[in-house]
Amino acid sequence: MNQKGFSTIIIAVIVGAVIILGSAYVVVKRSGQMATNVKPLFGTMLAFSINDALIDTPGKIDALQKGWTEFRKDDLAYQNLKSNLKKLIQDRTKLVKITGFPIDRGFIYFTWNVIEPKKGQFDWELTDMYTQAASNAGIKISAVIQPFASWDQENTSPLANCNALDFAFYDYKAGPPNDWTAYQNFLEATVKRYKDVVSSWEIGNEVEGDCGGYQNNPEGYLKLLKISYDVIKGANPEAKVLNGGALEFLDNSIRNFWTKFFKLGGSQYLDYFNVHYNIERSPNAKLNPATFQEVLIFFNNLMDKNGGKKPLYLTEFGIYSGAPSTQPLGQPVQVQGQIQTNLPTQPTPTGQSLNGRCGDNICDAFEKQNLDVCPHDCGGSMLGGNPEQSFGQPIQEQATGQNVQPNEGQTLRNLSENEQAALYFEYSILAFANGTNAVFVDLVGVDNGLIGSSMAFNAEGQPRIFLTTLKIISSKISGFSKVDKIADGQYRFTVGEKTIYALWSGTLPEEVSGRGRVMDMKGKELLEDVAGIKLNADQPVLIEL
């Protein structure tokens, strides 16, 4: 072969290799794009909670309960808070990465009063710390805008009975903005500053409740949402806008509020509809998926009749485990800072009032009924003591295996982590089958609190079983294009060319036959003939055929 012919062959080989490599690059690139376009099924909530850092600032919870404006004047307390927050961020980043969930719900950091404590003077320090932590962890944020600034609400009376720590960040004053231009300027500056890390914006939180600023005022909230929607889309067209999470159906006022909101045209200013469901980590826990499904169906039907359905975001959700009672002695008030957030942040479904603030050493009616809220006022202590002898420890009923909760007049099941994981499986599947795009769970909490026990990790950083369950669900059905109900407790998901069945009730559907991959809620996977599988609510399974 002459030199010219040999050169021609070499060139052809090189060109061919380039084409092949180029094709491979395109395939990889497209695959990556497909992966990033798959919407997350699960997210964390309060992964880097400022309240957790505050709890580690000795003696400063009471200081904050005077309001953020007063707290901010104490420079030593503020510097301690920042120092504790830096350490918390380091510890929590590891846990966030373990979950693999790509989004966190950020609370407090986007409060108007925190970012703009004085009109025209912006303080981004804490919010920058949080957003940088999220970026370092490789996650996005669903940011809760609390649209209240103390200086804007100067003539507003403090909210009655709204004494939880969350409300202190806007000095317990909530109502429609008085200076709408100032609010728009704040919101635009915030969205532009954080557009690379915040993917969605929630306007308010439980706005229809006693402490949300818009109780019995859907018209006023619609105005706030419309103005916020226009500002956000103008600053970042890719961002998604959500309502402040809708409360559980504590009474008909909740249904009436959202019914009127949608009839007024509220749907056109939403990308997702935001729902809370905290009942299963409250003294009124029902452990009844049917009740949960009723809530989702109500909102889906309401939207369908008034402008069309929007995907749902379940941004507050949890199911307790163990034998929850008051916070044990020797522990801070809910390590997760949940003296305020993970029950509905309204005072109480029964209309009882919190007459004094947490830390006043008065065990009022509300605190007796909600022992997780403020245990040291009702005989416990945040500073020391024997956890085995804590006030309000449940009375074990040997005959029934249930716990009698002090002062509640009802029983709650002693729920094992296995049972908890099975319920998380079932509720999550029901959520996705009823139009939910994402479910958020809290990150860290203590074992024997109604709220703390519903979180992904315990106080020692050990994962609860249900975290594995949620990760399995995500790995199997993320990106599903279709879901069909076969029967109660039986759902079929279409994921690309695969069919995944989520099953926990009844007899095995006839269409599920032959050999398939069967995975239980703890991650055990077998390739087997599925004919012999018996469905059990305590042992739900995913089957891939």
pLDDT at 62: 72
Q: Do the Cβ atoms of 258 and 302 come closer than 8 Å?
A: yes
Q: Please tell me the distance from the alpha carbon of residue 77 to that of residue 307, in angstroms, as a whole number.
A: 49
Q: Where are the domains of the chain?
A: 39-477, 482-544
Q: Please tell me the distance from the alpha carbon of residue 327 to that of residue 375, in angstroms, as a whole number.
A: 6
Query: Of 283, 291, 405, 388, which Cα lies nearest the Cα of 331?
Result: 388
Query: Of 277, 272, 216, 215, which Cα lies nearest the Cα of 241?
Result: 272
Q: Please tell me the distance from the alpha carbon of residue 285 to that of residue 454, in angstroms, as a whole number.
A: 12
Compute the Cα dihedral for 434, 290, 105, 145 and give only its sign.
positive
Q: For the segment 23-64, what is each residue's pLDDT rounded down to a tens digit?
A: 333 332 222 222 334 567 999 999 999 988 887 555 566 778
pLDDT at 467: 98
Q: For the segment 260-284, what is each residue's pLDDT rounded down to a tens digit?
A: 999 999 999 999 999 999 999 998 8
Alpha-carbon torsion angle 206, 213, 254, 351, nearest 10: 100
3-state secondary structure of 203: strand
pLDDT at 57: 56
Write the class of the CATH domain 39-477. alpha beta
Q: Please tell me the distance from the alpha carbon of residue 529 to that of residue 465, in angstroms, as a whole number.
A: 27
CB-CB neighbours of 113 under 10 Å: 25
Beta strands 515-520 and 140-145, pairing class: unpaired
pLDDT at 56: 58
pLDDT at 159: 87
Q: Please tell me the distance from the alpha carbon of residue 85 to that of residue 66, in angstroms, as a whole number.
A: 21
pTM, rounded to two decimals = 0.80
Q: State residue 525 phi and psi, 5-degree precision.
A: -125, 130
Q: For the segment 481-495, what is each residue's pLDDT rounded down to a tens digit?
A: 999 999 999 999 999
Instruction: With a cut of 50, list the residues of the chain below it in pLDDT.
Output: 2-4, 6-37, 326-344, 347-410
Q: Do the Cβ atoms of 53 and 81 come closer than 8 Å?
A: yes
Task: Give the neighbor-by-neighbor strand order of the sheet with 395-397.
Answer: 395-397, 402-404, 411-413
Token look-up 């594995």 returns 468
